[in-house]
Structure 1
C-alpha cells in the first residue's frame, strides 16, 4: 500500500485508528489484528472483518509504533484490540528518548 505522511488509517476489525508519521515510500502491507488497514473515508471503511486471534495484543492511544529498519512510524489516535503489524511483523511501541541528566 502506498501511503503518505499525515494520512489516517483505520482497522477493519476493531476501533484502531493511526496516523502515518514516517513512511519510506515503499509498498508495504499495514495490518491490525491480521486484517489490512484502510482509509477511514473510503469504501472499505467500517468494522466488517474478523480479527486473527493470534494478533490481538492491542494498540494503545497516544503511543507511537515504529520499525526503524523499515523506516515506518505510526501514532495511535484510537485504541483497539488488534496488533499493528507491517508485512506480518508486529510493530513495537517506540521508546521515549531519555532526557539528559542535569546536575
Structure 2
C-alpha cells in the first residue's frame, strides 16, 4: 500500500487503529500483529485470523510510532495488543522531545 498523510488504518486481527502523520512516497507494508492493516475504519478484528504471538507487544493510545530512516510516523488512535510494523520490522515508540530548561 502507498500510505498518505491523514489516512486512517485499522488492524484486521485486533482493535488497533492509527493515523498516518508522516510518510514517504513509496509502497510500504504496514502491519499490526503480523497482518496487513486496512484503510479506513476497517472491518474490525476478523475472528478467523489469528495474530502472530511473537508480534503482540501492544500499541498504546495517543503514542506515536516512527521509523526515522523511512520517514514514517503513525499516531495510535485506538490501542490494541498487536505490534505495529513496517516492511517486517517493528516500529519503535517515538520518544517525546525534552522541554527546554527554565532557569
TM-score category by the smaller chain?
A: over 0.9
Q: How does 1:33-44 map to 2 (within 5 A)?
A: 33-41=33-41
Task: Show CA shifts across 1:39-63 (max 9, x none).
Answer: 1356xx2211210000000000000
1:4-27 CA deviation, whole Å, 9 max, x = no partner? 100000000000000000010110
How does the TM-score come out when normalised to structure 1? 0.94
Structure 1 unmatched ranges of 5 or more? none
Misfit runs of 4+, over 6 Å: none
Query: Retained in 2: the 8 A contact 1:40–1:46?
Result: no
Q: Matched residues in 1 for 2:13 and 2:40: separation?
A: 12
CA distance in 1 between counterparts of 2:83 and 2:41 reads 22
User: For residues 44-94 of structure 1, what are the alpha-carbon distances to aligned partners after superposition, in whole Å with 9 as ceiling and x for unaligned?
Assistant: x22112100000000000000001001000000000000000001000100
Pairs aligned (count) = 101
> With structure 2 as the length reference, what TM-score do the two structures score?
0.94
Q: Structure 2 unaligned runs (5+)?
A: none
